[in-house]
Amino acid sequence: MNVVFATDRGYLQHLAVALASLLENNSGMNIYIINNDISESDWKKLQKLFEGKNSNLIDAKIDDKQIENLITHSYFTKATYYRLFIPDIVKGDRALYLDVDIVVTQRIDDLYNAEISNTFLAAVDDMDIHNYHELEMESSSKYFNSGVMLINLKYWRACNIKEKVIKFIDRKPEVIRSVDQDGLNSVINGNWLELHPKYNLHTRLLYIEPDSPIKEAIDNPVIIHYTGPSKPSQFRYNHPYKHLYWKYLRMTPYKYFIPDDLSIINIVKWMVPMSVKQYLKNILNIKSHKKNNESFGRINP
């Protein structure tokens, strides 16, 4: 299996967790890390994860001059665009791309062998897009989350997907919210295979009314995707599968990591039961409401 990650040094710990979980549950992989700033010492840390594993780690350095002027914002760095270069780096007809902020809980053979011969990629519905017109998409086209993509490399090369996405983002930066994900959806315009959400349980799925597939994904995910600016490495991060991140973190060279937001105040807040927090909140609301009424009465006798 060809499995690809794309990152910069700022996400090395998350990458290590993703690799540890992937290697714990799968074997027989060529794992590419597309980057341009991972040092030799950092690389040696990652290589330790592969000791005794039947998989190969490949350092895929990239010249990112083609994307240096493209829009970035929030937690989307320039490295987000690196996945566009996968068809230039990986030989063969298919590759599985994974974001670094994921945890793999099971084997991924079924995912990797999905039938994509007549489409650009297989992915999971993002369920959170409204600007179809701005992205020049058909209103009937679904919008996918690009954090897990089984890519038809042959189609991408033949249709110059990388060049088209870069051109679109450069032409319409004002409509871009999720950087290359928006560009990919605009160019592919619905020509993709929808996967079961268990293959990319992104955070958005936890907070919508679940149908049968989503409930199954929540109960038994294959890939957990910690989307959003907050990550499970933070002490106050709230996610039903946060513990799995820490489970696999303990298998990495970063196992002694201490969260930046670990403080006495946050520990105390965490220890207070939700029922007590709600009780105190209600009392404060009552006092605030009473105070406002008294002030109103003095002003308007």
| 90 found inside a domain | yes
Does the structure show a pLDDT above 90 at 263?
A: no
Dist. CA 57–CA 102, nearest whole Å: 18
Instruction: Residue 243: name the closest of 219, 224, 222 by CA.
Output: 224
Q: What is the pLDDT of residues 282-291, one digit of tens each?
A: 766 765 655 5
Percent of the chain with pLDDT over 90: 68
pTM of the predicted model as reported, rounded to 2 decimal places? 0.86
Decide: 80 and 288 in contact? Cβ < 8 Å.
no
Length of the chain in terms of residues written:
301
HSE (CB half, 13 Å, CA atoms) of 161? Answer: 30
- Inside any domain, residue 254: no
Number of domains comprising the chain:
2
Same domain, 90 and 214: yes
**Pair 217, 72 in one domain:** yes
Indicate whether 257 belongs to any domain: no
Residue 258 inside a domain? The answer is no
Span 40-53, average pLDDT: 96
Residues contacting residue 68 through CB under 8 Å, at least 6 positions apart: 78
Question: Do 275 and 244 sit in the same domain of this protein?
Answer: no
Domain assignment present for residue 255? The answer is: no
Instruction: Decide if 259 is inside a domain.
Output: no
Q: Are residues 153 and 82 in the same domain?
A: yes
Residues 127 and 223 in one domain: yes
CATH number of the domain enclosing 147:
3.90.550.10
Give one DSSP letter per residue of 103-120, joined into a string: EE-S--HHHHT---TTSS
Q: Are residues 135 and 283 in the same domain?
A: no
108 and 60 housed in the same domain: yes
Measured in degrees and rounded to the nearest 5, phi and psi for residue 43 equal -65, -35
Q: Would residue 117 count as lying in a domain?
A: yes
For 169-196, write each residue's pLDDT tens digit: 999 999 988 889 999 999 999 999 999 9
Rounded mean pLDDT, 42-70? 93
Structural domain span for residue 52: 2-249
For the chain, what is the mean pLDDT? 88
Please report the pLDDT score of residue 262 as a whole number. Answer: 44
Q: Does residue 35 sit within a domain?
A: yes
User: What is the mean predicted confidence (pLDDT) over 129-140?
Assistant: 88
